[in-house]
Amino acid sequence: MLATILHGPGDVRCEEVSEPKILKPTDAIIKLSASCICGSDLWPYRGANEVTAPLSMGHEYCGVVVEVGSAVKTVKPGQFVVGSFCLSDNTCPHCRFGFQSSCEQREFMTGAQAPYARVPLADGTLVATADMPADDLIPSLLATSDVLGTGWYAADAAGVQEGSTAVVVGDGAVGLMGVLAARQMGAERIIAMSRHKTRQDLALEFGATDIVSERGDAGVARIKELTEGVGAASVLECVGTQESMSQAIASARPGGKIGFVGVPHGVTFDGQNLFFQQKSLLGGPAPVRRFLPYLMDLVVDRKINPGKVFDLELPLADVAEGYKAMDERRAIKTLLRF
Amino acid sequence: MLATILHGPGDVRCEEVSEPKILKPTDAIIKLSASCICGSDLWPYRGANEVTAPLSMGHEYCGVVVEVGSAVKTVKPGQFVVGSFCLSDNTCPHCRFGFQSSCEQREFMTGAQAPYARVPLADGTLVATADMPADDLIPSLLATSDVLGTGWYAADAAGVQEGSTAVVVGDGAVGLMGVLAARQMGAERIIAMSRHKTRQDLALEFGATDIVSERGDAGVARIKELTEGVGAASVLECVGTQESMSQAIASARPGGKIGFVGVPHGVTFDGQNLFFQQKSLLGGPAPVRRFLPYLMDLVVDRKINPGKVFDLELPLADVAEGYKAMDERRAIKTLLRF
């Protein structure tokens, strides 16, 4: 089959590889309904993470189970499933505490930018729908696997509540999903920081009430202006740079919470500064599995449409162009079809 | 009157100064019932904070109001009061959000290691008792002003709940108060990290269920052993060094919360490490005012006895010995009498 392999910075190729096989009794093989490119795939693509060997790309997935290992009990061939990009047993103490992304057996999904993929820890990871979903729901179901689940976690970690004010730093796909999540959680005011018209429009569609196009100190000043000098109770940091993190911290009110889900690259915090700013920080790879059944229901019941975040659709053969378009910010997020 | 002045590292003196006066209509003057030395007073005493001019020491206080400014409405001469070391108006948005230690008008109390002191923002800061408290309650009421309120905030920020497991890093007075707070909040297991017999004994008296005398990696390994490999949901960091902070973070379970109240000195956090550890951080100067009425009631009703943390009592004239004893860890906390 054809699959996506990253050979080095800027060098991603669609290549012939062998089809995945059951390697452990807890594995499942799925036939993907669609796949996509994640903002975090751009870190190695841009050379921010070292690439020492060819990487099998893709960790967002949904599709139909075609085979399961002998130990798999909860899903069976023919079922439509979604799984988190973090594979987890869903039974260890960390999973039971709601932090499946720190599962004792955690692995990260790979190889999902391909028509078939192996999903380890299938029982803990995969969630099946009751029926085969309609075709037009596929992009939104795919989004629950990571991008929506990650934006949701940012809002959850930032303590978004009914009637609260949330600031979203970052207008990438995750930031836009953070806006959607904050809206679903009942935030009254959702301030999206974005300088790009198409992303601003999508943020407004997903529920943003205000757009701030300034950055850095000017951006923080604008947030303060919009919040009567106070700052926001909840800030979603969806980028991962020092600049975005500083902006996020400065945008929160004392006692406010920052949920950070952009993988930090070159970010440090000064202890004394954090102490006197008196703001709460929680980040990490999102425990999507915690939210997955709920998010899938919202999609199947057509209450949310996160699939709108895909603004470029390509056949798998053109995956390189998909990466390029996202790298150049011509596309927010690329959907791959087989 | 005699008061405590710090002239430089190791050089603290009891000196004649003029009595405090009302400077603003929102001030009150109180006659202190007792005063004490704080662990944070040791930072400048040890030269960790620069001392560029003589410092009027002391920020923990309780006593009787002797005079109020013309704008003061809620307290009057003759009342017994306690106030937080953070002075606040208790009406601004940060105060109403429960973060009085980030009050828009915040000042830090000074000059309270003396028989009389000026308390700015008296209406927002001071809380009066219904009646004049018994003499034997004075040490415990004094403790609510900072050391107990700070330990309480550590437990609150660390999310201690009924039935939960809490680790307390630091066996200074604040750490010991953190143990007491965790017990009051219903923690089932409270692990105090301490290498000193007298402090271990006091920790057990305040409600610790386990003592860990190891430090660093060995200490963390012991915490993991005591928590079935999981780590604690709540960790109270009550020191403020890089070593203690690293120990605190490593002792928490993924998704666990670290409340840090030791003023960080030379502490930095690596963003990516914090991300993958997936632990929540909240610290800062404690918003004692939020907890003060409740804590004072607990003391007056004799439900808690935080005053036991004072293991050395000296007349104000001997304040230099009080600092020395704490610096050399011969005393946990020094009570000063007039």
B264 vs A contacts (CB less than 8 Å): 271-272, 274-275
The whole-angstrom separation of Cα A87 and Cα A65 is 16
pLDDT at A51: 84
B153 vs A contacts (CB less than 8 Å): none
State how far the alpha carbon of A264 is from the alpha carbons of A292, B129, B174, B274, in Å: 24, 49, 33, 9
Q: Other C-beta atoms within 10 Å of B130: how many?
A: 10
pLDDT at A48 over 90: no
State how far the alpha carbon of B203 is from the alpha carbons of B169, B172, B294, in Å: 12, 10, 22
User: What chain B residue is nearest to A246 in terms of C-alpha separation?
Assistant: B271
Looking at the fold, whether B109 and B14 belong to one and the same domain comes out as yes
Under a CB-based contact definition with an 8 Å cutoff, are residues A193 and A217 in contact?
no
Counting every residue written for chain B, the total comes to: 338
pLDDT at A164: 96
3-state secondary structure of A259: strand
pLDDT at B120: 98
Give the model's confidence band at B48: pLDDT under 50 very low, under 70 low, under 90 confident, else very high. confident
pLDDT at A169: 98
User: What chain A residue is nearest to B272 in terms of C-alpha separation?
Assistant: A264
Predicted ipTM of the assembly: 0.94
Annotate B207-262 with DSSP letters as a single string: T-SEEE---HHHHHHHHHHHTTTS-EEEEEE-S-SHHHHHHHHHHEEEEEEEEE-S
Give the model's confidence band at B59: pLDDT under 50 very low, under 70 low, under 90 confident, else very high. very high
Domain boundary among A253, A283, A313: A283
Give Dmax over CA atoms of chain A in angstroms.
60
Looking at the fold, whether B176 and B269 belong to one and the same domain comes out as yes
Residue B245 in contact with partner chain A when CB distance is under 8 A: yes
Closest by CA position to B166, among listed B70, B252, B287, B268? B252
Contact A281 B283 (CB under 8 A): no
Contact A278 B284 (CB under 8 A): yes
User: What chain A residue is nearest to B97 in terms of C-alpha separation?
Assistant: A255
Out of B240, B254, B274, whose CB is closest to A99?
Answer: B254
Under a CB-based contact definition with an 8 Å cutoff, are residues B34 and B336 in contact?
yes
| CATH number of the domain within which A234 lies | 3.40.50.720
Residue B266 in contact with partner chain A when CB distance is under 8 A: yes
User: In this predicted model, what pLDDT tens digit does every residue of B297-324 receive, in sequence order?
Assistant: 999 999 999 999 999 999 999 999 999 9
Residue A94 in contact with partner chain B when CB distance is under 8 A: yes
User: In this predicted model, what pLDDT tens digit does every residue of B158-190 receive, in sequence order?
Assistant: 999 999 999 999 999 999 999 999 999 999 999
Looking at the fold, whether B310 and B269 belong to one and the same domain comes out as no
User: What chain A residue is nearest to B255 in terms of C-alpha separation?
Assistant: A99
Out of A229, A253, A284, whose CB is closest to B278?
Answer: A284
pLDDT at B51: 84
pLDDT at A205 over 90: yes
Q: Write out the H or E segment, with its range, that includes residue A56.
A: strand A55-56
pLDDT at B311: 97
Rg of chain A on CA atoms, in Å: 19
Task: Show which of residues 99-118 on chain B sit within 8 Å of chain A, judged by CB atoms.
Answer: 99, 101-102
B158 vs A contacts (CB less than 8 Å): none
Looking at the fold, whether A186 and A274 belong to one and the same domain comes out as yes
Domain boundary among B283, B304, B325: B283
pLDDT at B50 over 90: no
Closest by CA position to A4, among listed A110, A83, A120, A141? A110
The whole-angstrom separation of Cα B338 and Cα B37 is 14
Looking at the fold, whether A160 and A267 belong to one and the same domain comes out as yes
The whole-angstrom separation of Cα B139 and Cα A84 is 55
Domain boundary among A267, A283, A299: A283
Looking at the fold, whether B121 and B163 belong to one and the same domain comes out as no
Looking at the fold, whether A26 and A154 belong to one and the same domain comes out as no
Please give the DSSP secondary-structure letter assigned to residue A145: T
How many CB pairs below 8 A link A and B? 128
Out of B94, B97, B275, whose CB is closest to A283?
Answer: B275
pLDDT at B267: 96
CA atoms within 13 A on the CB side of B58: 31
The whole-angstrom separation of Cα A152 and Cα A128 is 20
Residue A96 in contact with partner chain B when CB distance is under 8 A: no
Q: C-alpha angle with apex A230: A226 to A232, nearest 5 degrees?
A: 75
The two structure tokens encoding residue B264 = 């960080």
User: In this predicted model, what pLDDT tens digit does every residue of B215-273 receive, in sequence order?
Assistant: 999 999 999 999 999 999 999 999 999 999 999 999 999 999 999 999 999 999 999 99
Alpha helices in chain A (DSSP H): 42-45, 93-96, 122-125, 138-144, 147-157, 173-184, 197-206, 216-226, 242-251, 271-277, 288-300, 319-327
B263 vs A contacts (CB less than 8 Å): 272, 275
pLDDT at A52: 87
pLDDT at B49: 82
Looking at the fold, whether A277 and A294 belong to one and the same domain comes out as no
pLDDT at A41: 94
A157 vs B contacts (CB less than 8 Å): 280
Give the model's confidence band at B68: pLDDT under 50 very low, under 70 low, under 90 confident, else very high. very high
A102 vs B contacts (CB less than 8 Å): 254-255, 278
User: In this predicted model, what pLDDT tens digit does every residue of A89-123 receive, in sequence order?
Assistant: 999 999 999 999 999 999 999 999 999 999 999 99
The two structure tokens encoding residue A222 = 């604008």
Residue A272 in contact with partner chain B when CB distance is under 8 A: yes
Question: How many domains does chain B divide into?
Answer: 2
Task: Show which of residues 140-159 on chain A sit within 8 Å of chain B, judged by CB atoms.
Answer: 157
Boundaries of domain holding B136: 2-146+287-337
The whole-angstrom separation of Cα B172 and Cα A67 is 59
Alpha helices in B242-318 (DSSP H): 242-251, 271-277, 288-300
Looking at the fold, whether B214 and B278 belong to one and the same domain comes out as yes
The two structure tokens encoding residue B330 = 């011969």
A268 vs B contacts (CB less than 8 Å): 268-271
A282 vs B contacts (CB less than 8 Å): 278-281
Closest by CA position to A126, among listed A77, A69, A88? A88
Mean pLDDT confidence for A195-200 = 95
Give the model's confidence band at A88: pLDDT under 50 very low, under 70 low, under 90 confident, else very high. very high
Give the model's confidence band at A239: pLDDT under 50 very low, under 70 low, under 90 confident, else very high. very high
Looking at the fold, whether A261 and A198 belong to one and the same domain comes out as yes
State how far the alpha carbon of B114 is from the alpha carbons of A294, B16, B46, B309, B325, in Å: 60, 10, 21, 20, 19
Contact B260 A277 (CB under 8 A): no
Give the model's confidence band at B130: pLDDT under 50 very low, under 70 low, under 90 confident, else very high. very high
Cβ-in-10-Å burial (0-12, 13-18, 19+) of B295 comes to buried
Cβ-in-10-Å burial (0-12, 13-18, 19+) of A26 comes to buried
Mean pLDDT confidence for A287-298 = 98
Contact A275 B263 (CB under 8 A): yes
| CATH number of the domain within which B50 lies | 3.90.180.10
Q: Mean pLDDT of all residues in chain B?
A: 97
Give the model's confidence band at A226: pLDDT under 50 very low, under 70 low, under 90 confident, else very high. very high
Residue B163 in contact with partner chain A when CB distance is under 8 A: no
Looking at the fold, whether A75 and A176 belong to one and the same domain comes out as no
pLDDT at A181: 98
Looking at the fold, whether B272 and B301 belong to one and the same domain comes out as no
B97 vs A contacts (CB less than 8 Å): 233, 253-255
B193 CA to chain A: closest CA distance, Å?
Answer: 21
pLDDT at A258: 98
pLDDT at A49: 82
